[in-house]
Amino acid sequence: MENKNTSTGNMPVKRISAGAISVSIWQNSGEKDGRQYEFSSMSIDRAYKDKEGAWQHTSQLRTADLPKAVVVLSKAYEFLILKEKATAQ
């Protein structure tokens, strides 16, 4: 099975943030048993400044980040469900 990100320029279709925590939603395509299909995936990110003051990013979260992670993931789920519902109509 092959998965490819089909977003132009490898950009997410949606990005949702709460403070330093963000989730990016990606549109992907795959092929299995000769059939093409599309699916969404998400990546979660925490931004922070290093000792030199430069912005860095990590997927590792701290305990205090969890409430914001819940918010952005809930909003991502809402976006995907509404998108799916609109596509079905």
Radius of gyration of the chain (CA): 16
Degrees to nearest 5, angle at CA 44 with 70 and 53: 110
The confidence band for 44, taking pLDDT boundaries of 50, 70 and 90, is very high
**Per-residue pLDDT tens digits for 13-40:** 999 999 999 999 999 999 999 999 999 9
Report pTM.
0.79
Structural domain span for residue 31: 2-88
25-to-1, 35, 44, 86 alpha-carbon distances in Å: 21, 23, 9, 17
| Average pLDDT of span 36-48 | 95
Residue 6 falls in which region: left (phi positive, over 0), alpha (psi -120 to 50) or beta: alpha
The domain tally of the chain equals 1
